[in-house]
Chains A and B, each alone.
Chain A
Amino acid sequence: MRTVSRILRKPRALSPRGVDQRLDGPAMSATGLEKHFARKHAVKNATFSVSRGCVFGFLGPNGAGKTTVLRLVLGLLRPDAGEAHVLGLDPVRQARQVRLRTGYVSQLHSLYGDLTIDENLRFFGRLYGLAGSELGGRIAEQKERFRLGEHRGPAAALGTGIQRRTALACALLHQPELLILDEPTSGMDSLGRRDFWTFLGGLTADGTTIVITTHHLEEAEGCDDLALMLGGEVRFQGGPAELKARYAGSVLAVSCDPWEVGFVALREAYGASLFGTRSHIDGLAATPADVEALLAGKGVRLLGVEERPPSMEDAFLRATAGEQTMSSG
C-alpha cells in the first residue's frame, strides 16, 4: 500500500497550458489491435490515437467492439496482436501503474449495491491506496462535487442518476490522468447530461484526458475527436464536423395528408421516421420529386417538403446502414 500511495502522489501537470509539452505522447493509442473470442473476430486491426487533455468519443452500434477495445487498452484483456499504450505505459506488462493512473467507469455494476455511498467511496479509495485524512478529504470533495451528501441507504436502492454520479466519484478519488467512461449518461435526464458535460469540461482544465462511449449522438458533438467503430474496425477518426461531412446529406421533412398512409409508404420505400405527423427521410435516398411521385401513387396529398441539415444521428445511421449492406452483400 505504501508504494501505491507514493505512485499516487507523483506530481501531476496542473496548468491547462503546457500539458502536452510536459507529458509527451498520446494519452492512449493503439496500432493494429486484434482480438478473437471463441466465435467472433471482435476487434480487427484497430488503430487510433487520443491526444492528452481532450474529450474523445467512441461511437458505434452495440457489438461494434467499443467496450472490447477499451478493455484491451486498459490491460483487462490481452490482444491477440498489435499493441496499445496508455500514458506511455504498456497495459499488459505495466498493468498496475496503468490502473493507478486511470479511472474506469463501466456500464454496469461498478458499485457495490449493498454498500452505502460512503462505504463504496471508502472501498474504492482504499483500493487506490488512499487512507486516513487524505481519503476522508478526497471523499468529502467528491461528495460535494457530485451532490451526494444527502443520500443514505444501500446504493442499489438509489436512483440511476445518483448511482452514476457515485460511480464517477469513485473513479475520480485517486485523481487519474485518464478517465474512461462507458456510456456515462445513459439513463440521466437532460439537466443531468448538461451538468455532466460542464463538469467534464472542468476536469479537462487540469489536463485530464477523457474517453467516453455514448449512444446519445448529440453528445458526440461535444467531443474534440471521435472514433467510429463498425464490425470491430475503427472506420473513422476525426472531429464531429468531419464525421458529419463525411457521412451525412440533408434530411427531407415531408408533410402530407393523410399522414398515416404517407408515412407507411415512405417508411417502406425510404425508411422514413415519424416526427409528429411529418415523415423524415434521408435526402440521399430520395429527391422531393421521388417523394411526390410515390405519394401521388398512394392517393396521398403532398403538403410540403422541407430540406433540413443532418444531425449527428443521421450521419451515424448513414455510416452504419452502409455497413449492413456491405456485410450482407
Chain B
Amino acid sequence: MSAEACVAATLASLRGVGVRFGRKEALQGVDLDVEDGAFIAVIGPDGAGKSTLLRVLAGLRRPSEGDVLRALPKAEVGFSGAEFDLYGDLTVAENLRFFASVRGLRNDEFRRASARILGMVGLTEAADRLAANLSGGMKKKLGLAAALIYEPRLLILDEPTIGVDPTSRRELWGIIAEAHADGAAVVFATTYLDEAERALRVVLLSAGRATELSPERMASMAQGWHAWNLRGDTGRSDLRVALARAGLGPRAYLRQEGLTLLGRDEAEAERLAGLVLSQLPDGRRGFPETLSSRLEAVMLNLDDLFVLAQVASDSREGDVS
C-alpha cells in the first residue's frame, strides 16, 4: 500500500462498543476503524462475538454501549449473513428485485445492476430457479449478489464461504476480490485462517474483546514463541497416535512436514517432542538422544498465533497491554 492510502477516508468506526445479551457480554470496549479501501478479516473462536460485531457495524444491531459512527448512508452498506437468509420460494431474480426495491433502486437501475451482478456471481443461467433449490455454493453466491445489488461502498460478510466446496469457495473469493478491486471496502468474519491471509488487516476477537493483529502486534504476540518442526522417519499414523496419547493440547500438532511444536525455546520444544516420542510403540528408536539436530525452527502461522492468544487468555498469564 502506498503512503497516500494511509490517509484514506474512514467509512465507519466503532468506539468503545459493548453488547450485552442478558448477563453475557458479547462485545466489550471494541474500537474499529474501517477506512476506504479496507479489506479486514475478523477471526476468533466460536462464540467470540464475530457475528455480533459485524451486525453492529452494519447497523443491524444497536450496541448496549459505545458509539457507531458511519460516514456513509446505510443504503451503501451491503450485508450477507452466515446463514441463508433469502426467500426460498422466490426465484433468484425475484430475490434480487426484492432487495433492490427495499434499497429504493429504480427499475432501470435494477435491470442494469442485476444483469451485471448475476454475471459477476455466475447465476445468469439460474435467474429463474427457486432459491430453495440452489446448491449451497449457489445460495452463498445469491446472498452475495443481494448484498452487491445496490453497489455498496462497504461490504460486510459473515463467514462468506461456510459450508461450500473448494471450487465454490475459490469462486466466491474471486467475486469478493472483484468487488474490492472495484472500490468496495470489505469486512468479513471467518473461521478459516487461510482466508484471513487474503485480508489487508486482521482483527482477532476473543471473549468479546478485539485485538488488531498488525505486523507489530503479531510480532509481539509471537515474542519469545517459536514453532519447531521435528523431522524423523516415523510413520504418520504412529505419530498421530502418540500425539493423541501425549495430550499436549493445541501446542503440538501434525502438519504436512511432520510434528510441529510451539515453545518458547528449543529446550521446551525438545521437551514437548520427547513427551510425544515417548508414546511411540517402539519408543524413540530412530531418534537421537538429543533431538536438537532434528528440530527445525519454522515460521509461526496465523493458526499458531491464534492458539497462543487462546492459551494466554485461558491461563490469564498474557498481560495484554
Contacts and interface: CB of A to CB of B under 8 A. Distances in A.
B162 A186 contact: yes
15 contacts: A61-B165, A61-B167, A62-B136, A62-B137, A188-B46, A191-B306, A191-B307, A199-B244, A200-B240, A203-B244, A205-B245, A221-B255, A274-B173, A276-B198, A313-B170
Complex A-B, nearest 8 residue pairs according to Cβ-Cβ distance, in ascending order: A202-B244, A274-B177, A201-B240, A201-B244, A260-B181, A205-B241, A189-B191, A62-B165
Contacts of B124: none
A106 interface: no
Contacts of A133: none
Contact of B45 (A192, A197, A276, A316): A192
A204 B245 CA distance: 11
A195 B314 CA distance: 15
Contacts of B306: 190-191
A202 B245 contact: yes
B166 interface: yes
A132 interface: no
A137 interface: no
A240 interface: yes
Given A217-B166, A267-B174, A317-B166, A205 B198 contact: no
B44 interface: yes
Interface in B122-176: 135-137, 162-170, 173-174
Interface in A81-135: none
Contacts of A68: none
Contacts of A58: none
Interface string A299-329: 0000000000001010011001000000000
A61 B255 CA distance: 23
B118 to A, nearest CB: 18
A292 interface: no
A186 B168 CA distance: 15
A238 interface: no
Contact of B281 (A16, A63, A198, A274): A16
B197 interface: yes
A224 to B, nearest CB: 6
A189 B82 CA distance: 14
A198 B256 contact: no
Contacts of B169: 215
A101 B282 CA distance: 30
A62 B168 CA distance: 9
Contacts of B165: 60-62, 215
Contact of A194 (B164, B180, B250): B250
Interface string A43-80: 00000000001110000111100000000000000000
Given A204-B241, A215-B165, A273-B177, 15 more contacts: A61-B167, A62-B137, A190-B306, A191-B250, A200-B240, A201-B241, A201-B244, A201-B254, A257-B2, A263-B181, A267-B177, A273-B174, A274-B174, A276-B200, A313-B166
B310 interface: yes
B184 to A, nearest CB: 11
A250 interface: no
Contacts of B168: 61-62
B198 A264 contact: no
Contacts of A274: 173-174, 177, 180-181, 198
Interface of B: 1-2, 39, 44-47, 135-137, 162-170, 173-174, 177-178, 180-182, 191-194, 197-200, 236-237, 240-241, 243-245, 249-250, 253-256, 281, 303, 306-307, 310
A285 B135 CA distance: 29
B46 A161 contact: yes
A235 interface: no
Nearest to B199: A276
B51 to A, nearest CB: 11
Interface string A271-314: 10111110000000000000000000000000000000001010
Contacts of A11: none
Nearest to A15: B281
A273 to B, nearest CB: 6
B197 A264 contact: no
Nearest to A222: B254
A61 B137 CA distance: 10
Interface in A143-170: 159-161
A17 interface: yes
A197 to B, nearest CB: 7
A159 B47 contact: yes
A188 B181 contact: no
Nearest to B37: A260
B163 A264 contact: no
A41 interface: no
A187 interface: yes
A36 interface: no
A317 B192 CA distance: 18
Contacts of A61: 165-168
Contacts of B137: 62
A216 interface: yes
Contact of A191 (B45, B164, B200): B45
Contacts of A198: 243-244, 250, 253
